[in-house]
Structure 1
Amino acid sequence: MKNNKIIAILITILFFGIGIFTLPDYGINWDTINHLPRGQVYLHYFLTGNKNYSDLPPYFSEWQKKGEWYWQKDNTLSFQPDIPKNSVPRLSLYQKAGVDFNYFMEKDGGHPPLSDILSSVFNLVLFQKLGLINDVDSYRIYGIFLVACLVGLIYYWVSIVYGKFAGLISSLSLSLYPFFWSESHFNTEKDIPETAFWTFFLFSIWQGVRKKSWKWILLSGLFFGLALGTKFNILFVGFVILPWIFFTSRKLFIKRWFVLSSFGAFLSGLIIFISSWPFLWADPITRIQKVIGFYKGIGLDESTVSNTYPIMWILYSTPIIILILSIFGLFSAVGKVTKEKNSLSLLAILWLLVPIIRVTWPGTVIYGGIRQIMEYIPALSILAGLGGLYLYDRASESKKVLVGFLIIFSFIPITLKMISIHPNENVYFNSLIGGLSGAKENNFPFWGNTFGAAYRQATIWINNNAEPNANVVYAYELIPNIPRIWLRTDLNFHNSNRSGFLRKGEYAITLPYKGTENRSYYDMYLRKFLNPVYEAKVDGVSVVTVWKNEDKYLKKQWIEKYDNNVKLRKDSEGVVFDMGMARDVSRLEISYNQNSSCVEMEHGRVRISVDGKMWQDLPGSLPQDWLISSMGKQPKDGKFVYPFTGQNVRFVNLFMSPSNNCLKNIINFKLYYFSD
């Protein structure tokens, strides 16, 4: 057992080292802006009692002005700003002056904040106090640390029950699970910590039952509290633990030490949960009900995908070798259930099934792949270890060594694949669906979604290639998805610079995945009219794209014309333009009369049709300033410009309310189309 501990520690150190080394390659999670400011606020309150940052030196005041910000050097974990370190306020960019304790007392109520707080502790020590690690990556070392401990624990746990070989295969399966590896670098406020704490909790319970130890049972309360303080998934662990204890050690239910220590563990977990979340303190019952309502809202709804979708995602996103070994392991585990005392096999089966059943049960919903139930992955890895052992044991004595090496070497292909697609491992799909390109071809739900991780590749390219003082925008997304310190200080990073068909030369970044092609005019324009200047691809599919919106990158030169014979028809709901024949529309320009008898538009939308019967709503609503941000709000001041992307239509309908809005007072208009 001593050797098992040493090997487990070495595996932990190895994973941590590789994880830290690769950390600067990954972008941040889309949810980061919702978590880290909250973690910093609560941490500052716990440490100082202050409800704002008035006791700290001010951060940069004008983040768009050169000299009032800094650029963190690319591809490095260490703190390396482009200005002297002593001129950088040693605060985090997520310590926002306007987002304070009182703000969260009003706005909080989603996922619990404990991992936000613990991530902020790592930032406080490694960046703010020691200046060793850069501002953003310092938060994420928390996740790498937890996962390294988790991988080491899986080895140790399996090895003390089934031997070193099974432990090695289990730890390899967990480490080389592409989705898990990738997410461990940036999904460090919710799903990764929850998976780690869920596993630590189960191990503590297993040890407590196996050793008849109230100390282990009490220790499980710590991990229950950490998990509950991170995400409510841990509440479903009862469907794993209770059947397992009933089947393997049911007499414990009447043992005084077990009942008392279990109650103590549950109580200590609740104390950790409540004490770590100041939002709950004013009215715990009402506010916990609000949190429960939040989880009901995201977990119980009419699903837009099949209930079998999570199962199919696991089938298609699990490396083939791990699938094969886990299938053998499942058969082996079923056979061991009645033979093992304190059966890890049964625990692993329940552990695998409960999270999956939870999101495939009728009336439940899951979105964004399977990141919300990542706790199934350690269980699958344990079963893969059992599967490897099953094949090893069935080999003849003369061939055991060969079989063992073959099983270990069978992980080489997935290792090479992960290296080749790094750092985009979380969009990995296996050969059963044809890789990411097959998932795209089959329109598999959420194909290609990196959840923000791929942005960092785009920022590195822009930093190296963009001309001084260039404008940078997203095709659609929100500014906080890329920390400002990841872009050169001379770059003007703001979505107001989207220029569409005006082509003013801005760089546009986006993550192409299922559903993004037609979500906005700007998305459609970029894809149809421009050649990208940069793409990071997996299996031939772009996972992050950069365009430069200027004439030299046009796919072809487009000629615009307009027809003076377009007919206009008004009705109570708006106006309809009829071109008399289907054409590839380019844009609509209207001059209209504003007077005292009309009002501003409150709501509108644009619809198009080939035959005047079947209508298609174009994305977005009116009035808005997202169409071409650099032109401002549309309609405005007697002018209205609406761009199209060459849709082949005959009719254009402006549906608008109220009926007496000024845009209906058309003075003149031009409806342009593309001509070959």
Structure 2
Amino acid sequence: MKLTLSKKRVHIIVAVLLFLCMIGTRVYDLNGAGGMFDEHNYLRLAVNTYEGVTKQDWSYDRWVMFKEHPAVGKYVHALFFAPFISEMSEHERRITIAGGMRPYRVSGEVYNQGRYSSVLLAGLTVVFVYLFCVYFFSQSTGILASLILILLPNFVQFHKTVSLDAPTSFFFTAGAVLFAFAIKHDTKKWWVWLGIVSGLALATKFNLGLLFVFYLILYLLVWKGPAMVKEKKLKWHWGLFSVPFIALLVLYLTWPFLWPAPIDRMMFSVGHWEGGPGIEPWFGTMEEQGPKLHYFLVYFLFSTPLLILLLWLASLHRVWKKRTFWYYFVLLWFLTPFLWSFMGQKTDGMRYLTMIYPPLAILAALGLRHVCKIPKRVLYGGAVLLVYLLALNVWMHPYQLDYYNILVGGPRGVQEGNKLEFGWFGEGKKEAVEWINEHAPPNVNVGAKWDPQHDFGGWRQDITAFDLVGVPFEGDPTFVMMNHRYKQYVEANDKQLIDLRSYRLVYSIKAGNGDIGWIYQKV
């Protein structure tokens, strides 16, 4: 599809507006949920990477830290944290890398600079989605899919934390879209760019190796495979088959850990993924999730808004009815990440599969067009859908990560029935601290039974707060703050419990209609 200059300008303007809209929704109340699980580790990695690059230290001891993930994500975080790290003393950097630095700001605030990397990648992801839809479907589909992606509640929080979740969804999207353009134009330039971007993806997180599986599946099932079967002749596409070699070169060049002994150290790194996952809640019991092939399917069905699920089903009917190449392309883009179900490392809900949400948004947009048929109905239907998604965000804010749909009883049903992960990332600590700071009388003691234990700061000066997880203690604090994750994972083996019979509940930290934490006051 060749665009005129005026149409190009329109598409550029729309893409910029969508980019800004995505950025705005992520920057708004960026630290609303407070410090999240693993953010302290990503800060440690950023400081370590900054030290390695600025001092040109490519040694094993420097780069073996968190060897299970390659280096590109660490470079991104180090770049955004650079202003903060540059103000640290050498001692503070060493302490931070060792994991001993205590936060001195409001819980989570110290991570904001690194979070902007996730925000930026969110904006770029929605631009890729829009451009793909404009080129292969229509502008209206692109706008609708982009707005759906922006407002998907369970996708919002992944771009408001320092993690590899935003790079995962971005690089998979970038790889899929560049693959589409490489197929369309089939020139050396496009295949080289695809190899480079695929290499950056692989050099971010190993589960992005599913990109290459996607390329192969599409090649065999839709692109070249049917002709090969019909002609009974094997056909090689040297552009596509050069992509893995370019990608491996990018992986090697960007990761100093591999330089002296690439094969041995790659095996050492990948060996991390052979270990099974930890214990997680599963419909009333605590179980290991490794053997469950339906793990991600269950999380997808119960953490996706109901209207999006219905439109996804409608899109499957549209794909079957149309049976065109690009419909199959989007469907396989969505389905391929679920092959991770065959890996033993299954944990954290949909965190390993954040790359499904861009194609899901496209499928939902196609499903809406299929259901509504005529443009006027699509407009009204789209407006209703977007208001619905916006309402869910308002209801869950700032804990969209804990959204579950009505099929599993909503957030309350999951929390009270201990059905799936809820409040698993330690969110809510900031709200708990702020509530106690505002309502506690002067000079009181606060005891925290909260997991994870990091980011325990931001207290009023006259309040003495103690982290009481896993330690013996004497006396009764005036206030006790406790979260759902602590009760799930830690309480049964804690060294000393607090007898809550002498306390009354004064505040619940809500995610939708579920409780992720509680504050108790001594009677």
The bucket for the TM-score relative to the shorter chain is: 0.7 to 0.9
* Residue of structure 2 equivalent to 1:259: 238
8 Å CA contact 1:38, 1:113 repeated in 2: no
* Residue of structure 2 equivalent to 1:419: 394
* Residue of structure 2 equivalent to 1:636: none
8 Å CA contact 2:132, 2:142 repeated in 1: yes
Question: Which amino acid in the other structure matches residue 507 of structure 2?
Answer: Y
2:360 corresponds to 1:380 = yes
For 1:609-620, what aligned pairs fall within 5 Å after superposition? none
The C-alpha deviation readout for 1:367-421, integer Å capped at 9, x for no partner, is: 22111111111121111111112123x34xxxx4144213322331231121122
Distance in 2 (alpha carbons) for counterparts of 1:235 and 1:43? 26
Residue 294 of structure 1 deviates from its aligned partner by 0.6
Structure 2 residue aligned with 1:33, among 36, 40, 63? Answer: 40
2:25 corresponds to 1:18 = yes
SS of corresponding position for 2:163? coil
8 Å CA contact 2:442, 2:462 repeated in 1: yes
Residues 505 and 455 of structure 1, relative CA distance in 2, 3 Å threshold? same
Structure 2 residue aligned with 1:296, among 253, 260, 274? Answer: 274
Relative to structure 2, which stretch is displaced further, 413-422 or 535-544? 535-544
2:511 corresponds to 1:538 = yes
Distance in 1 (alpha carbons) for counterparts of 2:222 and 2:156? 33
For 1:614-629, what aligned pairs fall within 5 Å after superposition? none
Distance in 2 (alpha carbons) for counterparts of 1:26 and 1:326? 29
* Residue of structure 2 equivalent to 1:582: none
Distance in 1 (alpha carbons) for counterparts of 2:462 and 2:269? 42
* Residue of structure 2 equivalent to 1:451: 425
Q: Which has the higher contact order (CA 8 A, sep 6+)?
A: 2
Residues 462 and 285 of structure 1, relative CA distance in 2, 3 Å threshold? farther
8 Å CA contact 1:166, 1:386 repeated in 2: yes
Relative to structure 2, which stretch is displaced further, 20-29 or 145-154? 20-29
Q: Return the structure number with greater helix share.
A: 2
User: Unaligned regions of 5+ residues in structure 2, if any?
Assistant: 88-107, 229-233, 280-287
The C-alpha deviation readout for 1:428-470, integer Å capped at 9, x for no partner, is: 1112222111223443122x23413322222332443456665
Question: Which amino acid in the other structure matches residue 300 of structure 2?
Answer: I
Residues 527 and 435 of structure 1, relative CA distance in 2, 3 Å threshold? farther
Give the TM-score normalised by the residue count of structure 1: 0.64
Residues 520 and 298 of structure 1, relative CA distance in 2, 3 Å threshold? closer
Structure 2 residue aligned with 1:46, among 53, 58, 61? Answer: 53
Residues 281 and 424 of structure 1, relative CA distance in 2, 3 Å threshold? same
2:326 corresponds to 1:344 = yes
For 1:300-315, what aligned pairs fall within 5 Å after superposition? 303=289, 306-315=292-301
Structure 1 residue aligned with 2:253, among 247, 256, 275? Answer: 275
* Residue of structure 2 equivalent to 1:409: 384
Q: Return the structure number with greater strand share.
A: 1
8 Å CA contact 1:327, 1:387 repeated in 2: yes
Give the TM-score normalised by the residue count of structure 2: 0.82
8 Å CA contact 1:166, 1:385 repeated in 2: yes
Distance in 1 (alpha carbons) for counterparts of 2:70 and 2:339? 23
The C-alpha deviation readout for 1:262-285, integer Å capped at 9, x for no partner, is: 52x433432332333333334322
Residue 357 of structure 1 deviates from its aligned partner by 3.4
2:211 corresponds to 1:225 = no
Relative to structure 2, which stretch is displaced further, 298-307 or 209-218? 298-307
Distance in 2 (alpha carbons) for counterparts of 1:242 and 1:331? 24
Residues 458 and 271 of structure 1, relative CA distance in 2, 3 Å threshold? farther
For 1:177-192, what aligned pairs fall within 5 Å after superposition? 177-186=152-161, 188-192=162-166
Residues 358 and 165 of structure 1, relative CA distance in 2, 3 Å threshold? same
* Residue of structure 2 equivalent to 1:657: none
Residue 167 of structure 1 deviates from its aligned partner by 1.6
SS of corresponding position for 1:508? strand
Structure 2 residue aligned with 1:495, among 459, 463, 467? Answer: 467
The C-alpha deviation readout for 1:268-309, integer Å capped at 9, x for no partner, is: 432332333333334322221111111121479963674323
For 1:10-409, what aligned pairs fall within 5 Å after superposition? 10-49=17-56, 103-105=61-63, 107-125=65-83, 128=86, 135-186=110-161, 188-250=162-224, 259-260=238-239, 262-263=241-242, 265-298=243-276, 303=289, 306-337=292-323, 340=324, 343-359=325-341, 361=342, 364-392=344-372, 394-395=373-374, 400-409=375-384
Question: Which amino acid in the other structure matches residue 185 of structure 1?
Answer: K
For 1:469-484, what aligned pairs fall within 5 Å after superposition? 471-480=445-454, 482=455, 484=457
Number of aligned residues: 481
The C-alpha deviation readout for 1:118-149, integer Å capped at 9, x for no partner, is: 112112147858xxx96420100000110111
Distance in 2 (alpha carbons) for counterparts of 1:267 and 1:490? 60
Residue 103 of structure 1 deviates from its aligned partner by 4.9
Residues 25 and 283 of structure 1, relative CA distance in 2, 3 Å threshold? same
Percent identical pairs in the alignment equals 22
SS of corresponding position for 2:498? helix
Residues 523 and 266 of structure 1, relative CA distance in 2, 3 Å threshold? farther
Greater C-alpha radius of gyration: 1
Distance in 2 (alpha carbons) for counterparts of 1:109 and 1:489? 40
SS of corresponding position for 2:516? strand
The C-alpha deviation readout for 1:556-595, integer Å capped at 9, x for no partner, is: xxxxxxxxxxxxxxxxxxxxxxxxxxxxxxxxxxxxxxxx
8 Å CA contact 2:80, 2:114 repeated in 1: yes
User: Unaligned regions of 5+ residues in structure 1, if any?
Assistant: 52-100, 553-676
Residues 483 and 50 of structure 1, relative CA distance in 2, 3 Å threshold? farther
8 Å CA contact 2:80, 2:113 repeated in 1: yes
8 Å CA contact 1:123, 1:139 repeated in 2: yes
Residues 413 and 478 of structure 1, relative CA distance in 2, 3 Å threshold? closer
Distance in 2 (alpha carbons) for counterparts of 1:152 and 1:246? 29
The C-alpha deviation readout for 1:602-653, integer Å capped at 9, x for no partner, is: xxxxxxxxxxxxxxxxxxxxxxxxxxxxxxxxxxxxxxxxxxxxxxxxxxxx
SS of corresponding position for 1:307? coil
For 1:577-656, what aligned pairs fall within 5 Å after superposition? none
Question: Which amino acid in the other structure matches residue 72 of structure 2?
Answer: L
* Residue of structure 1 equivalent to 2:103: none
8 Å CA contact 2:146, 2:361 repeated in 1: yes
| C-alpha RMSD over aligned residues | 3.3
Relative to structure 2, which stretch is displaced further, 200-209 or 35-44? 35-44
